[in-house]
Amino acid sequence: MTDNNVLLSVDDLFKHFPIMRGVLQRQVGAVRAVDGISFDIHRGETLGLVGESGCGKSTTGRAVLQLHRPTSGSVRFEGTDLTQIKGEELRLMRRKMQMIFQDPYASLNPRMTVGEIIGEPLLVHKVATKAEADERVKQLLELVKLNPSFSTRYPHEFSGGQRQRIGIARALALQPSFIVCDEPISALDVSIQAQVVNLLEELQNKFNLTYLFIAHDLSMVRHISDRVAVMYLGVMVELATRDELYSHPLHPYSQALLSAVPIPDPVAEAARQRTILTGDVPSPANPPSGCRFRTRCPIAEAICAESRPEFREIRPGHFVACFFADRYL
Amino acid sequence: MSVQTASPNKIAVINDVFKPSRSLGQEAWSRLIRNKASVAGMFIVGFFIFLAIFAPVIAPMDPLKLHSGKRFLPPPFDQGATNIKAEPEFLLGTDSLGRDVLSRVIYGARVSMVVGFLPTTIILLMGSTIGMISGYIGGKLDNLLMRLTDVIYAFPDLLFFIIVMVALRDSFIGQFMNGLVLLFAALAIVNWVGVARLIRGQVLSLKQKEFVEAARCIGAKDTRIMFRHILPNSLSPLIVWAAFTIPGLIITEAVLGYLGLGLRPATDSGQFFVTSWGVLMLDGQTAINSQPYLLLAPAICVALVVLAFTFLGDGLRDALDPRMRGTQ
């Protein structure tokens, strides 16, 4: 685990949102959005993070970038623990890590021109003069395959896919080494999704970028990721290389998730075995004891309610949090 | 697995490159000038601003000069019930002391325009600063500031004005600018709470928007986020609020003038504020039967200005937020 190639190392990360009640705003509980997760991201790789809505994927991405300060745990980025720095020091670190947002309609300030939006990071960090920034904005627009003359336009004049490219250009402006892609394609039309994903891959090759790619579209994650992590109710249940995870999922949740992906072949599709989960995701404010997944798990036993399964390396590079994962080896 | 795409380059370029680009503000402006009622409103407001600025040039006579023997002259176009002969140079007649009514009404526009705009500016600055701080910082400070606004909000406005104007009438501030400064202060103290609440709500909702998060992510400082990202996006409701508040302030001034608590009468015509429409109405009501124009002229002016601002406000609301069209 102490690899020189590790760009980002997340250790035992917690993010709890307090629930306040009453006139005095006393804390009556907490939404355990992220409840103790650990993973590494290697330089130049794409780590896919999947899970259903509300499982804490986006919160993880934001906690890594310190947009939500973690409740506890550490996030080491190029050797610096981001949870320990603040103010100006953190502000300077932000040059190296950026984010691409989910909603291209909400992530661009409607009162600023495209040029101002993309050039803002350069001016905020004073790495360019106004004229240099304008020049750089034009390059960036070309890089994301938009017309450089668009820089004087306003976001409302663009389509969702174009806006998402503007968001990507903004994220690239400071030449970061790490980008959190928070469901960058789920708000787009299917026809545009492929373009944006291909653009992201192209940029990754060009600039040796490292991505944390958050998504719920399993086939897109399979396409873009080197390794894939599966989250359920604030915890990570499985982490493996893409091929390993898609061919040999060991956690019953991953198995259920993957069995839900339709196969574009009528014969194979008809023979597809589905594991259908029953019930709803429990509330993250009051999660089940022991294993988070036990309430919906097809193979749960008494031990699952008593203690929390360790997130263990069952095979080299394949981590899973299940007592019975060995059965599927 | 491979993903096929059309050339994204072409798709981006095909999009109408030649259409002139317009900001949200420019689009709102073009919607506004298509609204006939608000354009009329703008012209009326512009006309009264013009009157207020150039009153000494436009007014046919000195508004304070007493024309002896020419008291209670009726306007030349309506002899009315009196047997006093109208004189053509007094277009709206004269009042109980023989002063030209038209000139006095023109000078009265000054007070109404200043009362409309100056306290509004103070209110906007004060209210948005407090609302912004409250919403952005949050926590205990927010709670404290919002309880303070609740207290001020709950206090009856007119009662507050009357108490302040009566109690401080003879103090230094009460004497300053014929008492107008005191009036402005009283208006500002009562009205900033509305703006503070409005802006706080805006800040709370904008703070959650992804573009604000994006700004934090690129490393923008709090001041930049507040002034570059949150404030420009809260301007629309603020502008609409101002357009509806200005007539309210003008009416309040007229009411206070009518109650004898507003502007004190000027003694020499060198002073900027000679009289106000409220004061004129107070003067005019005594002779309502024989000399209706003494009351009607300032009353019509107040009504016209208030109506103009309301039309303008309606138009601004529709233009700045098309989803709000037709709502109250």
Write the pLDDT tens digit of every residue in B11-42: 444 454 555 677 888 888 888 888 899 999 99
**Is-contact A119 A127, C-beta < 8 A?**
no
For A243, the closest chain B residue by CA position comes to: B1
Average pLDDT rounded to a whole number, residues A88-113: 91
- Find the helix packing angle between B101-137 and B180-207, rounded to 10°: 40
pLDDT for B19: 59
Quickly list H helices, chain B.
Answer: 8-14, 24-32, 36-53, 55-58, 101-137, 139-154, 157-167, 172-175, 180-207, 210-217, 222-224, 231-258, 277-284, 293-320
pLDDT-derived band at B81, boundaries 50, 70, 90: low
For B234, the closest chain A residue by CA position comes to: A111
Number of domains in chain B: 1
The residues near B124 (Cβ < 8 Å, ≥ 6 apart) are: B195, B238, B242
- Could you report the per-residue pLDDT of B275-319, keeping only the tens digit for each? 888 888 888 888 787 788 888 889 999 999 999 999 998 888 888
B210–A102 C-beta distance less than 8 A: yes
A162–B12 C-beta distance less than 8 A: yes
Among the partner-chain residues B12, B143, B224, the one whose CB lies closest to the CB of A145 is B12
Percent of all residues in chain B with a pLDDT value above 90, rounded to a whole number:
34
Lowest mean pLDDT among A212-216, B194-198, B280-284: B280-284
Q: Residue B159: which CATH number?
A: 1.10.3720.10
Give the minimum alpha-carbon distance from A264 to chain B in angstroms, rounded to a whole number.
12
B210–A101 C-beta distance less than 8 A: yes
pLDDT for B291: 80
Tokens of B19: 């259409």
Residue B31 is assigned to a structural domain of this protein = no
Residue B105 is assigned to a structural domain of this protein = yes
Residue B2 in this model has a pLDDT that exceeds 80: no
For A151, the closest chain B residue by CA position comes to: B21
Nearest CA to B219 out of A178, A251, A124 is that of A124
pLDDT for A3: 58
pLDDT for B328: 44
Residue B78 in this model has a pLDDT that exceeds 80: no
Measured between beta carbons, the chain B residues lying within 8 angstroms of A156 are 24
Average of per-residue pLDDT values in chain A: 90
Interface test with A, best of B211, B221, B224 (most A CBs within 10 A): B211
- Could you report the per-residue pLDDT of A235-280, keeping only the tens digit for each? 999 999 999 999 989 999 999 988 888 888 888 888 888 878 888 8
pLDDT for A1: 44
A110–B3 C-beta distance less than 8 A: no
Residue B47 is assigned to a structural domain of this protein = yes
B218–A120 C-beta distance less than 8 A: yes
B218–A174 C-beta distance less than 8 A: yes
Average pLDDT rounded to a whole number, residues B168-194: 84
Among the partner-chain residues A95, A170, A197, the one whose CB lies closest to the CB of B214 is A170
pLDDT-derived band at A50, boundaries 50, 70, 90: very high
pLDDT-derived band at B87, boundaries 50, 70, 90: confident
In DSSP notation, A25-77 reads TEEEEEEEEEEEEEEEEETT-EEEEE--TTSSHHHHHHHHTTSS--SEEEEEE
The Cα–Cα gap between B285 and B283 comes to 6
Give the minimum alpha-carbon distance from A190 to chain B in angstroms, rounded to a whole number.
11
Q: A178-182 and A97-100: which strand pairing?
A: parallel
B209–A106 C-beta distance less than 8 A: yes
Domain with B295, as residue range(s), is: 41-324
The residues near B42 (Cβ < 8 Å, ≥ 6 apart) are: B308, B312
Residues in chain A: 329
> Is residue B271 classed exposed, middle or buried when 0-12, 13-18 and 19+ CB atoms within 10 A define those classes?
middle
Strand order across the A80-81 sheet: A26-42, A6-21, A72-77, A80-81
Residue B266 is assigned to a structural domain of this protein = yes
Residue B256 is assigned to a structural domain of this protein = yes
**More confident call, A298 vs A98:** A98
Residue A10 in this model has a pLDDT that exceeds 80: yes
pLDDT for B280: 87
For B4, the closest chain A residue by CA position comes to: A194
* Cα dihedral: B214, B216, B219, B223 (round 10): 130
Average of per-residue pLDDT values in chain B: 84
Give the number of beta-carbon pairs within 8 Å between A and B: 107
For A145, the closest chain B residue by CA position comes to: B9
A113–B218 C-beta distance less than 8 A: no
A194–B3 C-beta distance less than 8 A: yes
Give the minimum alpha-carbon distance from B14 to chain A in angstroms, rounded to a whole number.
10
Residue B136 in this model has a pLDDT that exceeds 50: yes
Give the minimum alpha-carbon distance from A80 to chain B in angstroms, rounded to a whole number.
17
ipTM field:
0.87
Chain B residues within 8 A (CB-CB) of chain A?
A: 1, 3-6, 8-9, 11-13, 15, 17, 19, 21-25, 143, 209-211, 213-221, 224, 228-229, 232-233
Tokens 């001034």, located at residue = B253
Interface test with A, best of B31, B150, B217, B235 (most A CBs within 10 A): B217
Average pLDDT rounded to a whole number, residues B270-279: 82
B228–A124 C-beta distance less than 8 A: no
Residue B13 is assigned to a structural domain of this protein = no
Nearest CA to B234 out of B198, B288, B186 is that of B198
pTM of the model: 0.82
Residue B7 is assigned to a structural domain of this protein = no
Among the partner-chain residues B17, B25, B219, the one whose CB lies closest to the CB of A149 is B17
- Could you report the per-residue pLDDT of B109-126, keeping only the tens digit for each? 988 899 889 999 999 999
Residue B17 is assigned to a structural domain of this protein = no
pLDDT-derived band at B259, boundaries 50, 70, 90: confident
Among the partner-chain residues A102, A156, A170, the one whose CB lies closest to the CB of B24 is A156
pLDDT for B18: 53
Measured between beta carbons, the chain A residues lying within 8 angstroms of B215 are 109, 120
pLDDT for B6: 47
Among the partner-chain residues A91, A120, A199, the one whose CB lies closest to the CB of B8 is A199
Among the partner-chain residues A108, A162, A222, the one whose CB lies closest to the CB of B211 is A108
**More confident call, A38 vs B11:** A38
A94–B214 C-beta distance less than 8 A: no
pLDDT for B12: 46
